[in-house]
Amino acid sequence: MIAEFGQYALILAFTLSLAQSVLPMIGAQRGIRPWMAFARPGAFAQLGFVGFAFLALVACFVRSDFSVAAVYHYSHSQQPLIYKIAATWGNHEGSLLLWVLILAVFGALVALFGENLPPRLKARALSVQGMISFAFLAFMLFTSNPFDRLSPVPFEGEELNPLLQDPGLALHPPMLYLGYVGFSMTFSFAVAALIEGRVDSAWARWVRPWTLLAWTTLTAGIFLGAHWAYYELGWGGWWTWDPVENASFMPWLIGTALLHCQTVVEKRDALKAWTILLAIIAFGFSLLGTFLVRSGVITSVHAFAQDPARGLFILVILAAALGGSFALFAWRAPSLNPGGLFAPISRESALVLNNLFLAAGTGAVLIGTLYPLALSVITGGSVSVGAPWYIATFVPLMVPMVLLMAIGPLLGWKRGDLPGALQRLAVAGALALLAAGYTFSRETGGSVLAPLGVALGVWLFLGTLVEWTERVKLFRAKPRENWNRARHLPRAAYGMTFAHLGLAIAIVGMTGSSAWKSESVKAMQFGDTVTMGDFTYRFDGIAAVKGVNYLAERATLSVTRDGKPYTVLHPERRRYAVQAMSTSEAAIESSGRGDIYAVIGDRAGPRSWTVRIYHQPLVPWIWLGGLLMALGGVVSLSDRRYRVGVPNRLPIGQVTGA
Amino acid sequence: MSLRRLLYALPILLLALFAWLAWRGLAPDRDPAALASALIGKPVPQFELPPLDPAAEKLATKDLAGHVTVINFFASWCAPCKAEHPLLFQIGKDYGVAVYGIALQDQTADTRRYIREMGSPYTKIGLDQNGRVAIDFGVAGVPETFVLDRNGVVRYRLSQPLSAGLIAGEIDPLLRRLAE
């Protein structure tokens, strides 16, 4: 029965979303207040129905109700409880339901906290949100119903793919979806503003929390995914420029650009059309990602079951959402009043450049992602685009952007003092060059990009610190004043500082791990040793271990460093009986210098196993950097100036945020 | 329309281009996982394989000259091969082409039992026990089927089991064309 209740709730949500897309929009157009007011309870009821349906599906999974097709295909009675729950969104149908749930949560949040929004804008934004819900609920009900029943009822399920039975994977999709769907909110606000024909600083301030929330969760989701790939897939890498990874990276790049140019709208009332365009495109890329993953149009390791009928449905949604909003843009955007003027050297110009680099970088990634599709459609040929393309196109665009990232925040609004800014960055520049020289001298045959990457990281890190010391007048005022200033800096300013520091650390980590990774693959017998750098690994033995739904071979590798005991590693190879599939569990020992990383492979002989050992310099820095970036987002989000519903804002003169 | 207006309409034009691409990409006959064989349009690799029946002749490249042939890689341990087996009889009968079988990485006794139970649709069978010839053909797994023209040039590769639909849609037109 639970499944049927869930099904009814979905159908109710579907019809409700239709009402919500139509009534408030017409109400706002004609000035009919009760119709506009429908948006608020409508959004709450939407959340109620979709939330109920989602819980119903979770309940089906927890109770292992194999009469529900999704449960049969992706769960098993012996699966641990947490993975029964995670399996709810580990498949196409369930993940769509999660997507729609998050959409409803965002709608309800706007309805809840949007009390100070102008009623028309709110009604229109919620109506657009309703249209998106309507499209996705229709997609779910007509092509991918999560509550489809099976008859006869199977006795046992087929189990979730063992690779997905991992805590990282329980968290990664919800985070990513919060990001993807978060951009639906900025999209709805952008479309509402276009219909209204008005974009101003107030608008930018209302939209900013949603952009920040989407950006923060997307950042966290991408780093979680990279981390999962790193420790679970056992090949020692964390990013492959796979089409689906790119699909999450492109909205992130555009979202980052959006976050920065919104501040220009907010502070200086300029760049309005461009901001609106970015808000539309950010969500457009979320839809593109959905299309790529679920349509089967491109081959990827991440893709769901491939079905052209579903692909066509999403393509229609994508074309309607973007076609409609781009048409509206072409019609209304030219009449948006251009705002404040600014000199060629100013904070605004720096942000415009930042946007240009980010947009061009997104273009490079987009071309690399779609080129195989275009080639196969136009000429029938097949080709795959790999890392060399992205290193040749994307990386060179990011180098000047990172250089600029340290300078931009030191420039004033309207008119900046470039020589002054560079003077204050002289020490940072000198140390960055020194770091590059040191890296170059230490390096033996690595990539020439390595000294560059290290220098950029150091430059950005120090440059960001310089900006902070400027703000608190460190060394130029009494410690008491320093402390007061540090305490009263806006949270948004700290958000920027954290996020930029995080990126600096991550850049060094990415550079180190791609330039100096070393690897040894050997068939080892008990007692054999391998030496890599300062470390010696001795293969002590294999034990059989029984897990809840798998059998594992667990190896013991004793690690010594310069002859002294360092650690003991236990890489595992798990065999999941139901899916007849093996997964490898890497054993990783982290330190500030990097990871040592061991994986065991198949039995190579009667008493020998293939053992792969990687040295992964600086990889933990990537995760630390990602964490700091996401933290920056959270801190910035907590800035009370952006809290929707705060009635008395600070006077304009005191607003100094990033 | 002024230039400025045109600039604002650029996003929708780019979207139209993408939508067209994606729509074409969704065409049901396009399989993004399909890789055209590098061998297509090239002469078949040189090979010589021991026969299944010790008394028979070897299966070699020279057997393929002068007539249209179908080469089928199979193995007794491969379930999809069993599924497509009856269709191989049909191809041989309907089109009058020579169908050659190559048993991939299989024990001779197992292959023999398989052929005894299932019957032989093959004009000749070669044993590729170490998979050397399969590598030259670029075979990814069994079953795989190749169609060669009279001059021994590879014209078609199928890296999945045969089905009635595939025969009607792809192999039938090709064999008719080659027969002319």
- Please list, in sequence order, all residues whose beta carbon lies within 8 angstroms of the beta carbon of residue B74, skipping any fewer than 6 positions away: B81, B85, B101, B102, B103, B104, B142, B143
Res. A51: pLDDT tops 70: yes
User: How much is the average pLDDT of A407-435?
Assistant: 89
Nearest to B8 among A323, A329, A373 (CB): A329
Helix (H) or strand (E) holding A416: none
pLDDT band at residue A107 under the 50/70/90 scheme: very high
Domain-terminating residue out of A473, A495, A515: A515
The model's confidence at residue A657, banded by pLDDT at 50, 70 and 90, is very low
Contact B30 A377 (CB under 8 A): yes
H/E/C letters for each residue in A339-369? CCCCCCCCHHHHHHHHHHHHHHHHHHHHHHH
Work out the minimum CA distance from A41 to partner chain B, whole angstroms.
34
Residues from chain A contacting residue B9 (CB–CB below 8 Å)? 330
Provide CB contacts within 8 A for B116, sequence distance 6+.
Answer: none
Taking every pair of C-alpha atoms in chain A, what is the biggest distance, in angstroms? Answer: 82
| Residue A318 sits at the chain B interface (C-beta within 8 Å) | yes
Mean pLDDT of A604-619: 85
In a mutational test of the A interface, the residue from B7, B26, B40 whose CB has the highest number of chain A CBs within 10 Å is B26
User: Per-residue pLDDT tens for A534-558?
Assistant: 899 999 988 999 888 888 989 999 9
Query: pLDDT at position A646, please?
Result: 45
What average pLDDT score do residues A193-216 get? 90
Measured from the Cβ of residue A165, the count of other Cβ atoms closer than 10 Å reads 26
Region A496-512 average pLDDT: 94
- CA-closest candidate to residue B70, choices B36, B9, B115, B121: B121
Which member of A277, A299, A315 has the closest CB to residue B22? A315
d(CA A281, CA A290): 14
**CB-based contact (8 Å) between A191 and chain B?**
no
Min Cα distance A289 → chain B (Å) is: 13
**Among A253-257, A369-373, B28-32, which is the least confidently predicted range?**
B28-32
Residues A498 and A535 in one domain: no
- Residue B107: its pLDDT value, please? 84
- What is the rounded CA–CA span in Å between residue A157 and residue A74? 7
Identify the domain boundary among A464, A495, A515.
A515
**Which of A315, A322, A330 faces B23 most closely, judged by CB atoms?**
A315
Residues 6+ apart with CB under 8 A from A44: A108, A111, A112
Residue A426 pLDDT > 60? yes
Name the nearest CA neighbour of A117 among A1, A196, A35.
Answer: A196
Report if pTM > 0.90.
Answer: no
Cβ contact A298–B28 (<8 Å)? no
Mean pLDDT of chain A: 88
Instruction: Return the number of CB contacts < 8 Å for A and B.
Output: 72
- Rounded Cα distance, B72 and B84, in Å: 10
Looking at residue A260, what is its pLDDT? 93
Q: Does any domain span residue A630? A: no
Pair A23, A127 in one domain: yes
Q: How many whole angstroms separate alpha carbon A460 and alpha carbon A467? A: 10
A331 to A199, A273, A283, A327, A328: CA distances (angstroms)? 15, 11, 20, 6, 5
Whether A229 is covered by a domain: the verdict is: yes
For chain A, the domain total comes to 3
B15 and A322: CB-CB below 8 Å? yes
Quote the CA–CA distance of B78 and B144 in Å, as a whole number. 11
Q: What is the pLDDT of residues A276-323, one digit of tens each?
A: 999 999 999 999 988 888 876 766 555 555 566 788 899 999 999 999
Note if the bond before A152 is cis, omega within 30 degrees: yes
Q: Is the domain of A73 the same as that of A217? A: yes
At residue A382, does pLDDT exceed 80?
Answer: no
- Regions of chain B where pLDDT drops below 70: 1, 28-37
**Are the Cβ atoms of A377 and B21 closer than 8 angstroms?**
yes
Instruction: Say whether both A137 and A229 belong to one domain.
Output: yes
Q: What is the mean pLDDT of residues A523-529?
A: 89
* 8 Å CB contact of A280 and B11: yes
A366 touches chain B (CB under 8 A): no
CB A118 within 8 A of CB A34: no
**Do A119 and A213 share a structural domain?**
yes
Task: State whether A549 and A439 are in the same domain.
Answer: no
Is residue A542 situated within a structural domain? yes
> Looking at the structure, do residues A384 and A426 belong to the same domain, yes or no?
no
Evaluate whether residue A593 is within a structural domain.
yes
Please report residues of A whose CB lies closer than 8 A to that of B159: none
- Which chain B residues touch A if contact means CB-CB below 8 Å? 4-5, 8-9, 11-12, 15-16, 18-19, 21-28, 30, 32-36
Three-class secondary structure assignment of chain B: CCHHHHHHCHHHHHHHHHHHHHHHHCCCCCCCCCCCCCCCCCECCCCEECECCCCCCCEEHHHHCCCCEEEEEECCCCHHHHHHHHHHHHHHHHHCCEEEEEEECCCHHHHHHHHHHHCCCCCEEEEECCCHHHHHHCCCCCCEEEEECCCCEEEEEECCCCCHHHHHHHHHHHHHHHHC
Q: What is the ipTM of this complex?
A: 0.81
Residue A299 lies in a domain: yes
b (16+ CB within 10 A) / e for A207-245: bbbbbbbbbbbbbbbbbbbbbbbbbbbbebbbbbbbbbb
**Residue A558 and residue A503 in one domain:** no
Length of chain A measured in residues: 658
Residues A439 and A505 in one domain: yes
Nearest to A326 among B11, B21, B26 (CB): B11
**Among A202-216, A452-466, A569-583, where is mean pLDDT lowest?**
A569-583
State whether A508 and A535 are in the same domain: no
Q: Identify from A274, A276, A281, A297 which residue to disrupt to test chain B contact, counting B C-beta atoms within 10 A and taking the largest count.
A: A297
Q: Is A649 within the bounds of a domain? A: no
User: For position A513, what pLDDT does the model report?
Assistant: 87
B interface test, pick of A276, A293, A315 with most B CB neighbours within 10 Å: A315
Residues A453 and A532 in one domain: no
Which chain B residues touch A323 with a CB distance below 8 Å?
12, 15-16, 19
Q: Are B101 and B126 in contact (CB under 8 A)?
A: yes
The conformational region for residue A622 under phi > 0 = left, psi -120 to 50 = alpha, else beta, is: alpha
Given an 8 Å threshold on Cβ–Cβ distance, is A382 in contact with B19? no
* A631 within domain boundaries: no
Cβ distance of B22 and A373 shorter than 8 Å: yes
**C-alpha A212: how far from chain center:** 12
Q: Is A379 on the interface with B (CB under 8 A)?
A: no
Nearest CB partner across the interface for A326, out of B5, B15, B32: B15
Token pair, residue B138, equals 């670029």
* Band of residue A379 on the pLDDT scale cut at 50, 70, 90: confident
Q: Residue A266: which of A201, A207, A216, A206 has the closest Cα?
A: A201
CB of A330 within 8 Å of a chain B CB? The answer is yes
The Cα–Cα gap between A44 and A38 comes to: 10
Record: contact A291-B30, CB cut-off 8 A: no
Neighbours of A476 (CB within 10 A): 10
CA distance A421 to A408: 9
**Final residue of a domain: which of A493, A515, A537?**
A515
**Alpha-carbon gap, residue A126 to A120, rounded angstroms:** 10
Domain range for A407: 402-515
- Find how far residue A196's CA is from the centre of its chain: 31
Which of A295, A329, A382 comes nearest B35 by C-beta?
A: A382
Alpha helices in A379-490 (DSSP H): 387-407, 418-424, 426-442, 449-472, 479-488
Name beta bridge partners: A594.
Answer: A591, A617
pLDDT of residue A249: 94
Check A322 against B4: CB less than 8 A apart. no
Q: How far apart are CA A310 and CA A413, in angstroms?
A: 48
Verify that A581 and A449 share a domain, yes or no: no
Whole-Å CA distances, A270 to A258, A338, A341: 13, 6, 7
**What does the alpha-carbon distance between residue A119 and residue A35 come to, in Å, rounded to a whole number?**
11
Q: Is residue A164 part of a domain?
A: yes
Q: Which residues of B touch A319 (CB under 8 A)?
A: 15, 19
Q: Do B4 and A334 touch (CB under 8 A)?
A: yes
CB contact under 8 A, A319 and B30: no
Does the beta-carbon distance from B22 to A298 stay under 8 Å? no
- Do residue B26 and residue A312 have CB atoms under 8 angstroms apart? yes
Specify the pLDDT at position A539. 92
CA distance B27 to chain A (A): 8
The predicted pLDDT at position B176 comes to 87
Is the CB of residue A323 less than 8 Å from the CB of residue B12?
yes
